Amino acid sequence: MSDYLTKKNQQKRARRKRAHQRVRNRLRGTAERPRLSVFKSTRHIYAQVIDDDAGRTLVQASTVEPEIAKQIDGARGNVAAAKAVGTLVAERAKKSGIEQVVFDRGGFIYHGKVKAVAEAAREHGLQL
């Protein structure tokens, strides 16, 4: 049984990697409009704003940070945590002078946590 679950997880990861590669073939973050990339694991949610031309991360936020952990009371892998991450990354981007970004869903379906990050970033002033 455990071999089946391992194989199933490998297939899921491979599908997501292929989907992410298709998304990345169409998206590119520039200095004027960097890429807002989202990654979610089973426990945490990460978001970062990336300038692909320079090859560097400009701003980031995740549920690993104590600042967000205080807001969400320990439940780090849910939609409320995703909203907190989206809010924080948008505020940090605005402080850095970033107004517009290209949204990279990272091969994940635009639903649930990924959607919550995007909507929270929009609500706090980022144009996606």
Summarised one tens digit per residue, pLDDT across range 59-89 is: 999 999 988 888 887 778 899 999 999 999 9
CATH code that applies to domain 2-123:
3.30.420.100
Confidence at residue 28, expressed as pLDDT on a 0 to 100 scale: 86
Query: Is the torsion defined by CA of 42, 35, 48, 118 positive or negative?
Result: negative
Confidence check: pLDDT of 30 > 90? no
Rounded Cα gap, residues 49 and 34, in angstroms: 6
Rounded Cα gap, residues 65 and 5, in angstroms: 31
Confidence at residue 6, expressed as pLDDT on a 0 to 100 scale: 85
Confidence check: pLDDT of 4 > 90? no
